Amino acid sequence: MVFEKRRPSAVLFDRDGTLIRDVPYNGDPDRVEPMPGALEALGRLRMAEVPVAVVTNQSGVAKGLLSPDDMDQVNARVEELLGPFDAWAICVHDDADGCTCRKPAPGLVIRAAAVLDVSPRDCVVVGDIGRDMEAARAAGARGILVPTGVTLPEEIEEASEVADDLSDVVDRVLSDAEGPMAAVSAPWARAMGWSRW
């Protein structure tokens, strides 16, 4: 799929391994640690008035390894460290639940785009594993992979776009703009809280 080179309507980030260091099934806000360059990358997007959102699988809730409240506290800590996001779309199901939201299904991308009142096709999805890229592809969004130590070689090979780090992602996203695009403002999205399915 070839995407037009223009500024996206929103950038949707995976949480664990992309925005913050991946601590499996983390329910402890004190263990939240931003990935290198995450705050700066988000700051550049916010300055450019590009909405930012989080799309994250949190199967630890379905597995009973953390409570919804634990997860909410971790997400609140993410916002304390990285600033407010325009939308959160969270899947609390496990693989066996057969939901349409858990990545690699497209539901989280579609949900975040709906909350932001933009088309999924005008969004960029940023993640560190193949599931993130598959969810982007399934939703018709542009996917950019930022590999980490857990990213499989085949996931890198199959990704349509690979960036060195989050700064590289933002360089790509903002350099695509021919000119300023009308900002999409969705202040009401904040009042909706975190969207959990």
Residue 123 in marked binding region: no
Q: Distance between CA atoms of 106 and 3, rounded to whole angstroms?
A: 18
Nearest CA among 56, 58, 48 for reference residue 109: 56
Examine the residue annotation and report whether 14 is marked as an active-site residue of this protein. yes
Residue 14 in marked binding region: yes
Residue 16 in marked binding region: yes
Helix (H, G, I), strand (E, B) or coil at 67: coil
181, 51 Cβ separation under 8 angstroms: no
Residue 93 in marked binding region: yes
Long-range pairs for 147-154: beta carbons < 8 A, 24 or more residues apart? 148/17, 148/22, 150/17, 150/22, 154/130
Which is the catalytic residue, given 14, 70, 122, 132?
A: 14
110, 118 Cβ separation under 8 angstroms: no
The residue written with tokens 């997400």 in the block is 75
The residue written with tokens 């300023």 in the block is 180
| Helical (H) or strand (E) element with 78 | helix 68-82
Amino acid (1-letter code) at residue 46:
R
Examine the residue annotation and report whether 16 is marked as an active-site residue of this protein. yes
Query: Which parts are annotated binding residues for Mg(2+)?
Result: 14, 16, 128
Give the residue numbers of the binding site for Zn(2+).
Answer: 91, 93, 99, 101
Residues assigned a catalytic role: 14, 16
